[in-house]
Chains A and B, each alone.
Chain A
Amino acid sequence: MRRWQRAREGGLRGLFFLCALVSIAVTMGIILVLFGESLPFFRHVPFTSFLFERSWAPRTGQEYGILPLVCGTFLIAVLALAVAIPIGLATAIYMSEYAAPVVRQVAKPVFEILAGVPTVVYGYFALTFITPYLLRPLLPSIEVFNALSAAIVVGIMIIPTISSLCDDALRAVPRSLREAGYAVSATKLEVCTRIVLPGAMSGVVAAVLLALARAVGETMVVAIAAGSTPKITANPLVSVQTMAAYIVQVCKGDAPAGTIEYQSIYAVGLTLFAITLAVNVVAQKVMARFREVYE
C-alpha cells in the first residue's frame, strides 16, 4: 500500500471510531447535564425533603417533594401494564402456539401500525374518545383529565412491545421440551401453560420490564389526557401528573432560566432518567440470562 493510502485508511478508521464514540459522548452529556443543572436546585432544596415531602409545587409554594410525581408516574405505568400484559401475552401465546401462519401474516402489520402511531395521537385518542365515550358512560364521576384513560392508552401503546418480545421468548423454548410434554399425554393447553410458559418466564419478565420502562418514560399521552395536578393517590379517576409531563408543562410555559421552577425540571429529569435506567439495566440482565439458557 502506498503511504497516502495507508494514511487515508488510518484516517477513515479514526473518523469512524470517533463517530462510535459519539454515543458515549451522548450518555456522558446526559449525565453531565442532568447532574450539573440540578445542582442549583439541590442547593436550595434538601435532598430528604425532595425525596420524602408529600407535596410538589415549585412554582407557588415551598413544596418540593417528588413523591406525587413519582406516584402519578407509577399509577399510570402499573395500570398500563395491567392492560398490556394480559393482552400482549395472550396474543403472543396465540401467535406462537395456535395461530395458522396466515393469521400471523395479518396480525404482524396490525401490531406494527399500533407501534408506529405517534404518542400525541394516542393522547388525542385518550382525551377525545376514551374518556367521553368509553369511560364516562361507565363511571360518571370520572374527571375530564384522569389517570385511567391515559393508562389504558399507554397500555395499548406498549402491547406490541410485550407481544413481540414474549413471542420471541416462547419461540426460544426448544421443540424437544414441547415434545416431551406431548409424549406424557398432555394437551396443547397444558404443554403451553405448564411447560413452555414457565420455560420462557425470564424472557417474559424482561419484556415486562422493558415495557415498564417505556410506560414510565411516556410523556405526551399523559400530558394530554391525565391532567397537571400532582398528587399522591391510588384513584385512577382523578387527574394526576407524571414526571415527564411536568417537565413538558414547565417548558411550555415561561419560567425564566434562573428560577427554582426552571431548575426543578432537571431534578425531575434526573429522577426519571435514574428510574428508567435502573429498570432497563435489570431488564437487560434478565434477558441476558434467558439467552444464556437457550443459546
Chain B
Amino acid sequence: MITLAGPSLVRPMGFRPRLARRRLVGRVFAILCLVAGLVAVLVLGALLWHICRQGAELLSVHFLTSYESTLEPLTSGIKAPLWGTIWLMALTTILTVPVGVAAAVYLEEYASQNRLTRFIHLNIANLAGVPSVVYGLLGLTVFVRWCAFGRSVLAGAAALALLVLPVVIIASREGLVAVPKSLREAAYAVGATRWQAIRHHVLPAALPGILTGVILALSRAIGEAAPLIVVGAVAYIRAVPSGLRAPFSAMPIKIFNWSELAAPEFVRLAGAAILVLLGVLLSMNAVAVGIRAWQQRHKTW
C-alpha cells in the first residue's frame, strides 16, 4: 500500500519565484486597466448628463418647428437647420448610394485581381482617411465654383456624398463578401448571366449588409460641419431650403454657431439642438442594429 506524503519538496534549485508579489502586481495592473475603461464610460456619462442638463428643458414641438429668433433667443427653434439636414441627407443618399454600391459590385463581382483593382482598393482606403475639411475644399472648388451650383444645398450634399463614398463602398463590399460563393454558383448553374445572378440572388442576399453600411455612412454625414462650412452653409437663415440651388443651414452648423456665442442661453439652445441630433442618430443606429438582428434570424444560408 502506497502512502502519499504531502507535496514533496523536490525543489528546483536556485529559483526565487516571489509568486505572491508577481500576482499582486498582476492584480493591480488588471484593476488599472479596468479603471481606464471606466474613465471612457464616465466621460460618456458626463457628456450626456451635461447636455441634458443644458438643453432638455428647451425640447418641445415648438423647438422643432420654429425658426430662430434674434430678439428672443430662448424662443428659437431649429426648423431651418433641421430641414436643411433632412434635405442634405436625402440628396447625399441619392448621390452616393448608387455610385458606391455599383463600385462595390464591380470590385467584388466583376473585377479581376490585377494592379488596377489593387490600386483602387488602396485609393479607397486612403480616401477614408482624408480630413473632412479637404472634402469641403474640393466641394467649394468643384461644385460651388466650377459646376456653378453656388453655395447651395446641392453643393453641400455633393461634398458630403464624396466624403462618405469610401464608407459606402467598403461596407457594401463587406455585405457582398458575406454572401457565400455557393449562392452565385447555384445561379450560374441554371444558366443565369453575371448580372442576372447579381440582381436576383447576390444583391438581395447582401442587402442587409449594404443597408447597414448606408446607415453608417449617413450617421457620419449627418454630424459633419466642417465641409459644409467650407462649401458655404449659413449659420442663420429663416427658411427651409426652397430648391436644389437654395442656400441652406444644417444642424451641426447651428450647433457650432450657438456654441461660439458666449451667452448662457445659447449654450442651452446648443444643448437642445444636440439632443435632437443625438436622438436622430440613435434612431438610425437602432434601425441598423435591427437590420443586423433580422439578418441573423432570417439567414438564408
Contacts and interface: CB of A to CB of B under 8 A. Distances in A.
Interface of A: 1, 5, 8-9, 12-13, 15-17, 19-24, 26-27, 29-30, 33-34, 37, 86-87, 90-91, 93-95, 98, 107, 110-114, 116-125, 127-129, 156, 159, 185, 187-190, 193, 210, 213-214, 216-220, 223-224, 244, 247-248, 251-252, 257, 265-266, 269, 272-273, 276-277, 280-281, 284
A102 to B, nearest CB: 14
B33 A118 contact: no
Interface of B: 17, 19, 22-23, 25-26, 29-30, 32-34, 36-37, 39-41, 43-44, 46-47, 50-51, 54, 98-100, 102-103, 105-107, 110-111, 119-120, 122-127, 129-138, 140-142, 145, 162, 165-166, 169, 193-195, 219, 222-226, 229-230, 232, 235, 252, 255-256, 259-260, 267, 270-271, 274, 277-278, 281, 285
Q: Is the interface of A mostly helix, strand, loop or mixed?
A: helix
Nearest to A159: B40
A9 B194 contact: yes
A40 to B, nearest CB: 13
Nearest to B34: A94
A119 B223 CA distance: 7
A23 B259 contact: no
Contacts of B30: 94, 98, 189
Nearest to B231: A251
A269 B36 contact: no
Given A17-B110, A110-B41, A223-B256, A23 B132 contact: no
A81 B98 CA distance: 37
Contact of A120 (B32, B166, B252): B252
Contact of A220 (B102, B103, B106, B225): B225
A217 to B, nearest CB: 3
B130 A187 contact: no
Nearest to B28: A189
A129 B270 CA distance: 13
A27 B259 CA distance: 33
Contacts of B32: 90
Nearest to B29: A189
Contacts of A8: 195
A20 B255 contact: no
